[in-house]
A and B are shown apart, each in its own frame.
Chain A
Amino acid sequence: MLTYIIRRLIGALAMLIVISMVTFGIFYIVPQWAGATPEALASRYVGRAATPETVHLVAQKLGFYDPVVVQYGRFVKGLVAGAEYDYGAGVEQCPAPCFGYSFISGQPVWPDLLDRLPVTFSLAIGAAIIWVLAGIGVGVLSALRRGSFFDRLSMGTALAGVSLPIFFTGMITLVIFSYGLGWTAPGGAYTAFLDNPAQWAYNLLLPWITLAFLFAAGYARLTRAGMLETMGEDYIRTARAKGLREREVIVKHGLRAALTPILTLFGIDFGLLIGGAVLTETTYTLPGLGQYAILAIRNQDLPQVMGVVLIAALFVVIASLVVDLLYAVVDPRVRLS
């Protein structure tokens, strides 16, 4: 078991290295193929009226004249051993893990990531609770009443939920519930949980529900299909033959088995969300990792992009490891080796 975890962690590290190299490569090498010079790269980070001299200075400061390998080495060194940042009037120590400083704002990336993680986590955890409860609940009921009005209504809604983009549902819900009825917080509202838990929940309610709706739909469909399959299994008949109450048959025997594939999906979904609920955060103006990722990419701010990509990848890797470990707990037939 321990060796398994260690092996997986080593694999994860290797994957992160590959991801960082690919990201770096996309950033530097692809423009080079297209013929971009170091100055062309640097011209992204200056005001529009910058003179060629300014662009040259910036290219020099950002190290664009060095070979990509050297630049990558510098990045890795910063991560492992920290780096120094010259802000003109002095030099700042950037302790490891140093993801560097934004090309645009000059802000260190790592504190930004730490600062934004709780927002994304708050969004993800609340939404996850809602979508898991709602999705599984609706899915189970639909499966047990297959073909009923409830089943058709909920599966129709689920289809809509999967199909509607969040930037659409997000805007609609804001206009109706926040600006129209005044029930929920306006876009851009966020309070840290530790500052005021009630306000935290109030501000996040609409994003939670909107995001959960998207996922709940998929989970409902998956749960329904899983339940329909497991409820036809022989061991369900056995459970009934033992005289078990129907509710226990459904929950203890049916749902337990139907949930296993959902666990996998949930792990990956949740990991991805922690890496940044891009659309939800952008739509509702939540200062989380997803919004950060979008801004970083829009600004072509490599240190920020690297930071957010690696953090997101890390969470996905951790999530998949946790799922695999949980899988072994949930399904005794699975043995990790």
Chain B
Amino acid sequence: MRRKSALAAAATAALALVLSACGGGGGTPQQPAQSASGGAAQPAANVALSQVFNPSTKKGGTLKAAHSSDWDSLDPADTYYGYSFNFGRLYWRTLTMYKPGPGPEGATVVPDLAEGLGQPSSDGKTWTYKIKSGLKFEDGTPITAKDVAYAVARSFDKETFTHGPSYLNELLDWPKDFKGVYKTPDVDYKSAVEATDDTTVVFHLKKPFASMDYIVQMPMTAPVPKDKDTGAKYREHVISTGPYKFETVEAGKRLTLVRNDQWDPATDPNRPALPDRIEVQLNVNADDLDNQLIAGNIHLDVPGTGLQPAALGKVLPDPQLKARTDNPVLQRLWFVSVIPDTKPLDNPDCRKAVMWAADRVANQTAFGGPVAGGDIATNVMPPPIKGQQKFDLYQTPENKGDVNKAKEALAACGQPNGFSTTMSFRSDRPREKALAEAMQQALARVGIKLTLKGFPASSYFSDYAGNVEYVKKNGIGLAAHGWGSDWPDGYGFLQAIVDSRTIRPAGNYNLSVKNPEVDKLIDQASAELDATAREKLWVDVDKKVMEDASILPVVWAKALLLRGQGVTNLAYNEGQQAYDYILLGVQ
């Protein structure tokens, strides 16, 4: 599951108009199945990261998928899971989408409903998308720009659609009296989004925003016919715009999708739509799901978060099974916030002592090791982020920490014998608990005594570690934390966790980075027009944070994915951070 970052704040931050390099790039459609180089790939670990495994154009068959839990919602306005965005593209189409297929290109956006990428106005506050002609809903009704605008407007109602992201609520210039299409049906929302004609959708932003093409690949822009909109009940039968439509939706039990004969492949170069039918079983016992995936009873694990510990023990030692795995690095960092509000961590040297004393190998082991956990992180941005650079300001022998340097830092901060502080973690996450214990052990080597405190994950940020008052009162010095981005650029990843101006009384995700120099660099990066220069500035932000020593990176998360048996056309997509579900076929 991809972390759903609170990038709502992103929208409110001032942004210079920039076209991201990837966003501005080509809009040339490409058949992904043909992009595989050189015939059938041999089953070997990680092949699907760089090429299409088992490429095929053969249509037919049933793709059997399973989910260990259930969707938050199938409604494009009401869902916010990476897998849901990924899978949803089978039954919805949005203005843009991540380019299907493997490799770094997968993190770029290409048009979907739109003929090309968005056209920003000169002030960067208006974005115009032209949609293709010949598009139809599953009932044969033509899709017009109005349906897109309506879909965006209906997604505004967060009382009805509680799960979906609220980027567009924050970004667009909504009328003051607009409370959603159901409560205030008569209020005209054209100040935020409008269809100027049947093929033109125009977004009006409050402030300039460069990454709009990334935003509109999210399902809020999937068209919804107004006369079929049943509010919170629309999830029970979403009207398809993609190659598949729902045959049955049994909440909590199963979904079945069949071909949507109104979908015209001529308008859609991105989706090969190979299987005739897709069945998804819900709430499947997670261990059984792995077993069925191994045995070949099912083709696909929908959430795609990787194998359960029980299956890891079975897969890793078995060369044949291991050859069926892919082990990608995700756009996700597990880390420890080193909070300067708590004395003596207000002194940067004391924070540095923590950096030097930490045992990175032990931390990695706590998080599941190099395969199931992730690679040892030496800085904040994970490698899949565009322009990321790997650097290490606190290099220690074998990554196990340096007691001498830590003691020097302690001396410099006036605590030569160490100090005591509290570390928080989410008690229902065994890996964070193990991390806290590893930290406790490592820091004890230099005299820093940690008291460990676990809190429930559901209220971790609202009531505890993300609550400024609580942190100050209870002297929380370290906090286990994790972050993933919704799209793979520096802004998407860093802004919410390092910009001190996002800090509110409660519900914070930035727990520790309160450095004016960092904030200044963020503004600079956001205002930079040149993509290469901007990417470098984000690396500078990363470096500044590391110098500030207010974030101790732990691992760049990795997932161990297992390729289903009998699945064709399988590739790991950087944008989805999962297998690309729209490519899949069955033998």
Does A associate with B in a complex? yes
Contact B166 A51 (CB under 8 A): yes
Number of B interface residues at 8 Å Cβ cutoff, please give it: 53
Per-position contact with B for A103-127: 1 when CB-CB < 8 Å, else 0?
Answer: 0111100001000000000000000
Contact B163 A175 (CB under 8 A): no
With A52-B507, A54-B162 as contacts: A171 and B288 at CB distance below 8 Å: yes
Bound together, the chains give a CA A184 to CA B295 distance in angstroms of 14
Say if the beta carbon of B73 comes within 8 Å of chain A.
yes
Contact A47 B288 (CB under 8 A): no
B406 CB → nearest A CB, Å: 35
B423-467 interface (Cβ within 8 A of A): 458-459, 462-463
Say if the beta carbon of B292 comes within 8 Å of chain A.
yes
Say if the beta carbon of B165 comes within 8 Å of chain A.
yes
Say if the beta carbon of B252 comes within 8 Å of chain A.
yes
Among A52, A90, A112, A283, the residue within 8 A (CB) of B288 is A283
Say if the beta carbon of A61 comes within 8 Å of chain B.
yes
Q: Interface segment, B226-234, B413-421, B554-562?
A: B226-234
Contact B459 A47 (CB under 8 A): no
Contact B288 A285 (CB under 8 A): yes
Contact A295 B462 (CB under 8 A): no
Query: Contacts of B253 on A, CB cut-off 8 Å?
Result: 287
Contact A187 B292 (CB under 8 A): yes
Contact A49 B80 (CB under 8 A): yes
Q: Which chain A residue lies CB-closest to B170?
A: A51
Among A40, A90, A295, the residue within 8 A (CB) of B459 is A40
Interface centre among A40, A88, A90 (most CB of B within 10 A): A88
Per-position contact with A for B140-173: 1 when CB-CB < 8 Å, else 0?
Answer: 0000000000000000011110111110011000
With A47-B72, A49-B5, A49-B165 as contacts: A88 and B232 at CB distance below 8 Å: yes
Bound together, the chains give a CA A48 to CA B466 distance in angstroms of 14
Say if the beta carbon of A58 comes within 8 Å of chain B.
yes
Among B66, B162, B295, the residue within 8 A (CB) of A50 is B162
B389 CB → nearest A CB, Å: 28
Query: Contacts of A112 on B, CB cut-off 8 Å?
Result: 251-252
Q: Which chain A residue lies CB-closest to B231?
A: A88
Say if the beta carbon of B391 comes within 8 Å of chain A.
no
Contact B252 A284 (CB under 8 A): no
Per-position contact with B for A47-84: 1 when CB-CB < 8 Å, else 0?
Answer: 11111111001101100000000000000000000000
Q: Which chain A residue lies CB-closest to B72?
A: A47
Chain A, interface size: which category? 35 or more
Bound together, the chains give a CA A174 to CA B180 distance in angstroms of 49
Interface centre among B5, B66, B158, B163 (most CB of A within 10 A): B158
A263-320 interface (Cβ within 8 A of B): 282-285, 287, 291-292, 295, 300
Query: Contacts of A90 on B, CB cut-off 8 Å?
Result: 230-231
Query: Contacts of B70 on A, CB cut-off 8 Å?
Result: 105, 295
Contact B458 A44 (CB under 8 A): yes
Among A44, A107, A287, the residue within 8 A (CB) of B283 is A287
Say if the beta carbon of A36 comes within 8 Å of chain B.
yes
Say if the beta carbon of A46 comes within 8 Å of chain B.
yes
With A187-B285, A188-B66, A188-B284 as contacts: A58 and B162 at CB distance below 8 Å: yes
A152-173 interface (Cβ within 8 A of B): 167, 171
Bound together, the chains give a CA A282 to CA B68 distance in angstroms of 10
Query: Contacts of A50 on B, CB cut-off 8 Å?
Result: 158, 162-163, 166
With A47-B4, A51-B8 as contacts: A187 and B159 at CB distance below 8 Å: no
Q: Which chain A residue lies CB-closest to B183?
A: A88
Bound together, the chains give a CA A90 to CA B233 distance in angstroms of 10
Bound together, the chains give a CA A50 to CA B78 distance in angstroms of 11
Contact A107 B251 (CB under 8 A): yes
A195 CB → nearest B CB, Å: 14
Per-position contact with B for A233-257: 1 when CB-CB < 8 Å, else 0?
Answer: 0000000000000000000000000
Say if the beta carbon of B582 comes within 8 Å of chain A.
no
B324 CB → nearest A CB, Å: 15
Query: Contacts of A88 on B, CB cut-off 8 Å?
Result: 157, 159-160, 180, 182, 230-232
Query: Contacts of B166 on A, CB cut-off 8 Å?
Result: 49-51, 54
Bound together, the chains give a CA A175 to CA B528 distance in angstroms of 57
Among B162, B230, B234, B284, the residue within 8 A (CB) of A47 is B162
Bound together, the chains give a CA A319 to CA B3 distance in angstroms of 46
Say if the beta carbon of B109 comes within 8 Å of chain A.
no
Contact B284 A43 (CB under 8 A): no
Bound together, the chains give a CA A58 to CA B169 distance in angstroms of 16
Say if the beta carbon of B7 comes within 8 Å of chain A.
yes
Query: Contacts of A287 on B, CB cut-off 8 Å?
Result: 250, 252-253, 283
Contact B4 A51 (CB under 8 A): no
> What are 21 A-B residue pairs whose CB atoms fall within 8 Å in the complex?
A43-B458, A47-B164, A48-B80, A87-B160, A88-B157, A89-B230, A89-B232, A89-B234, A105-B70, A105-B73, A106-B232, A106-B235, A112-B251, A171-B288, A171-B310, A175-B291, A179-B294, A179-B295, A283-B288, A285-B281, A287-B253
List B residues at the A interface (Cβ < 8 Å).
3-8, 66, 69-70, 72-73, 80, 157-160, 162-166, 169-170, 180, 182, 229-235, 250-253, 281, 283-285, 287-288, 291-292, 294-295, 297, 310, 458-459, 462-463, 507
Q: What 13 new A-B contacts, CB under 8 Å, besides A40-B462, A105-B73, A187-B292?
A: A39-B462, A48-B4, A54-B159, A88-B182, A88-B231, A88-B232, A90-B230, A112-B252, A188-B66, A188-B281, A188-B284, A188-B292, A285-B283
List A residues at the B interface (Cβ < 8 Å).
35-36, 39-40, 43-54, 57-58, 60-61, 87-90, 92, 104-107, 112, 167, 171, 174-175, 179, 186-188, 282-285, 287, 291-292, 295, 300
